[in-house]
Amino acid sequence: MPGKIRGAKPDKIKKRKKKKLPMDQIEQKVREKLEPKPQEKEPKTIPRRRSRRRSKKRWSLKDLDLKNSISMEKVKELGIWLLQIAAVILAAFFFVWYFGQRVSTVGDSMNPVLGNGDVVLVNRFVYNASSPKRGDIIVFKPKGNENSHYYIKRVIGLPGETVEIIEGRVYIDGEKLEEKYETVEISNVGIVTEKMKLGEDEFFVLGDERNKSEDSRMADVGNVKRAHIYGRVWFVLSPFDHFGFVKD
């Protein structure tokens, strides 16, 4: 049996002789070792179809480069812009609140200056700095009645004065009142049958068309207290033929 013989000494074991290869085979093997192996082609991968649904990227403050995107000049410009807008809004609110309140004229008691249905603007600011003057066309609610419509009349008597009507004309403290605006004689004196003394905060008012006017001669209206005066008429919005500033 080939192989190791039991009991035999190693030096007596016959060594197997290696077969010698011919030169052409040796050269072939050397060439194979020296020549580079051809690279294997990678298998083509089929691209996966993208899903129509795009994954939503969550936004965070870290995505903003605030230091580079926002400069101090831009911040100043934005601040100035916001201040200008605030100033315009404040000015508009001030104008509308104090000068732009609209009131409609009821009746023809203020003809020919104002007609029935005329829409006027009321100056509410003027009497914060001063008191109503004789000849002013004012807006008020009689006796402060909030359920009443606004009345528009002309100031005739001032606080502390004495008013009386003699032969269709108005007398203030015994002197005949000279009126520059167009008016008519009074045919109905109402409650002013004798001298009427005005209080320290009371005004006597009349309409220019006095025979069609419900004013201080009537008990339902009476003298107008300062606290009940809404403001002064200063502009007519409509109709177009009356459009413009009110002439006292």
Contact yes or no for 138/103 (Cβ under 8 A): no
Of 246, 229, 200, residue with least CA distance to 127:
229
Of 107, 127, 102, residue with least CA distance to 117:
107
The residues annotated as belonging to the active site are 109, 153
Of 209, 199, 187, residue with least CA distance to 163:
199
